[in-house]
Chain A
Amino acid sequence: MTVLDSGEQRVERQPARDLAPVALVDLLDRLLGTGVVVAGDVVVSLAGVDLVEIRLQLMISSVRAAMEQGEQGREAGSR
């Protein structure tokens, strides 16, 4: 079985490349996971320093926490 979503990549001569949309979950994989430009989990406070980044782990646990809250909400609603 094959699911192949290639977007509209066959476009005749055009300067810009055509790129397909990315699902939210795939973006989260990449933006919170391995697809990071700055390696390491730098957290720099605003006091006197210019870069603010957030611990990867913190972000992932935040997503989980939000989802668990959402699920609890749904479960409570279905009772």
Chain B
Amino acid sequence: MTAPQPPVGVSADTGRYLYAVCRGLDAAAVDSVQGIDGATLELVDHRDLVALVSTVPLSSYGEEALRRNLEDLSWLETVVRAHDTVIHAAARHAPTAPLRLATVCFDDAAVRDRLREWYVALTDVLDRVDGCSEWSVKVLVPTEAPEPSETAAPTSGADYLRRKKSDAARRAGTAEAATATAHLVHDSLASHARDSRQLPPQDPRLSGHEGTMVLNAAYLVPDDAAEAFAGLVAGLGAEHPDVVVDGRGPWPPYSFAMLEQR
């Protein structure tokens, strides 16, 4: 049996990296945007959808190479940044469904096959995010400073145990209160958003945040309600001075581009 020949114009050594799928994107809007490693960004269309792609070498983006390269955090960061740059550019101009990192097809025919296969789901996603942006809201509990009266050395073993017990009780009370605050904040924001999603709290080693993250959530907010949403975030922060309410946006709808498993 002979191996199938690659289609004309496509090298067996390269693949097509998918960044996002958009609807109604004017090619001129992204013609100054570069893909990974400065590659030319190209559009592959199917009906009213268009996939943003660029060519990548399979020596770096093939399955085996990806396994190796993804263990290199600086390589990962470069690719994540390039991916995000393309998605930002597209999402400024048209409804955009960002793709997961490192989705690589062999050629444009394969990209079109994906668009055909996912057409209904992609259309649903694009309808949902049209005219909306993602807002991130995190709730952080600052690290507690010790009570001034408790900083002196314990006077006895019993005193030490008493303090230890009261510290534990205070910490538990604080954690409980913070979780309750996080629920309140989330419920309030979610009722003003088109959709919401809770993400796991971030690893402080990655994020560099101080204190404890008790909410890491994303909200899909219509652009004409963005100002009111930002006001609500500020109001919640003022209402709960014991925590930090950190709101950021507007972002491309990263957390709301998930296709349902069928």
Contact = CB atoms under 8 A, between A and B. Distances in A.
Interface of A: 1-7, 9-10, 15-40, 43-46, 48, 50-54, 58-59, 62-63, 65-67, 70-71
B234 A26 contact: no
Contacts of A59: 70, 101
Interface residues of B, number: 80
A52 B105 CA distance: 7
A17 B92 contact: yes
Interface in B131-163: 133, 136
B255 A51 contact: no
B233 A4 contact: yes
B84 A22 contact: yes
B145 to A, nearest CB: 15
Given A4-B247, A17-B92, A32 B61 contact: no
Given A21-B88, A27-B81, A35-B100, 15 more contacts: A2-B236, A3-B244, A19-B133, A26-B136, A30-B218, A35-B218, A35-B255, A36-B100, A37-B259, A52-B63, A53-B103, A53-B104, A58-B70, A63-B73, A66-B72
Given A27-B80, A31-B83, A39 B260 contact: yes
B103 A46 contact: no
Main secondary structure of the interface of B (DSSP, over half): mixed
Contacts, number: 196
B192 to A, nearest CB: 15
Contacts of B99: 36-38
A59 B203 CA distance: 15
Contacts of A16: 29, 92-93
A1 B243 contact: yes
A52 B197 contact: no
A45 B205 CA distance: 33
A18 B88 CA distance: 9
Contacts of A5: 247-248
27 contacts: A4-B237, A5-B248, A10-B227, A15-B93, A16-B93, A17-B133, A19-B91, A19-B251, A20-B249, A20-B251, A22-B252, A22-B254, A29-B216, A30-B98, A30-B218, A31-B83, A34-B197, A35-B254, A35-B255, A36-B100, A37-B97, A46-B106, A48-B4, A51-B103, A52-B15, A53-B102, A67-B73
A37 B97 CA distance: 7
B249 A50 contact: no
